[in-house]
Amino acid sequence: MTSRLLGKTPLIVLAGPSGAGKTSVARRLVAKDEKFVFSISATTRCSRGNEIHGVDYLFLSQTDFRTMEEAGGFLEWAEVHGQKYGTPLEQLETASRLEKFLIMDIDVQGAAQVKSEVEDAIMIFVIPPSAKVLLERLKSRGTEERDRLIERLRNAREEVAQANTFDYVLVNEDLDQLVSQIQKIVTLEDQGALEGIDLSGKIRQFQTGIDEVLDGILK
Ligand code: 5GP
């Protein structure tokens, strides 16, 4: 079979609001399918305790992040919830050497930068099944402080408004199902045989749901 993508460091970008389950799906995909490798981002935020430097993230100081940025060491970087996050170019080199698909879990600003640099990147937007589920996921992650919760929900609403700039919008109802959908998309894209799916109705419904949840919190 001819591959449209291999040899070019094929990039699979997973973007979407925090709490959509991007990291879990990327990790499950990499564990299940050896064609994929996870892109380890650099960040200035601190480790959440169970996260390991060099496995989950490269945890850098502000100075080291800036030095790397000034040296042109990032494919993209962005400030998210007050911290810097970026994809080291080294991740692309590693994926290329291993001849694997690089799966990137990044925010929408970074995703836009990737798309402008790498036209062939497969852009996937992941949304939670509903605003209520997002709220529960954010709470269970320890984002309980009211102001931070409101900030993340508002960010989610803004991010979701950009979903229509992506090639695919997938709903994270079930992790294994999502992994299979991504495998299918990548296989068919690799053969140049797939086009995007229109989920604009689902996105509007999700945005309205966030408004209702925010109304409930702010009352
Ligand atoms: P968290 O701090 O919850 O791990 O991640 C916060 C947000 O930053 C998530 O939306 C995640 O996708 C995004 N993010 C993680 N790594 C990168 C990166 O390398 N670049 C960009 N632009 N965003 C990232």
Q: Is residue 169 part of a domain?
A: yes
Query: Is residue 73 one of the residues assigned to a domain?
Result: no
DSSP state, residue 82: T
Token code pair at residue 36: 């994929």
Predicted pLDDT of residue 106: 96
Pick the residue whose CA is nearest to atom 19 on ligand 1.
86
**Domain total in the chain:** 1
- Residue 134 belongs to domain spanning: 11-39+101-218
How close is the Cα of 106 to the center of ligand 1, in Å? 5
- In a domain, residue 152? The reply is yes
* Token duo for residue 168: 């695919």
Query: What local confidence, expressed as pLDDT, does residue 95 receive?
Result: 93
**211 occurs within a structural domain:** yes
pTM for the structure as a whole = 0.86
State the pLDDT at residue 2: 46
Is residue 154 included in any domain, yes or no?
A: yes
pLDDT of residue 6: 45
Ligand 1 site, residue 84, Cβ cutoff 6 A: no
Predicted local distance difference test score (pLDDT) of residue 107 = 93
In a domain, 67, yes or no: no
- Which pLDDT score, from 0 to 100, does residue 166 have? 92
Query: Does 21 fall in a domain?
Result: yes
pLDDT in tens, the chain (219 residues): 344 444 466 899 999 988 889 999 999 999 999 999 999 999 999 998 889 999 999 999 999 999 999 999 999 999 988 899 999 999 999 999 999 999 999 999 999 999 998 888 999 999 999 999 999 888 887 656 788 888 888 989 999 998 988 999 999 999 999 999 999 999 888 777 665 556 667 777 888 888 888 888 887
Q: Is 174 a member of any domain?
A: yes
| DSSP conformation letters of 98-134 | HT-EEEEE--HHHHHHHHHH-TT-EEEEEE-S-HHHH
In short, whether 156's Cβ falls inside 6 Å of ligand 1 is no
The enclosing domain of 203 has a CATH number of: 3.40.50.300
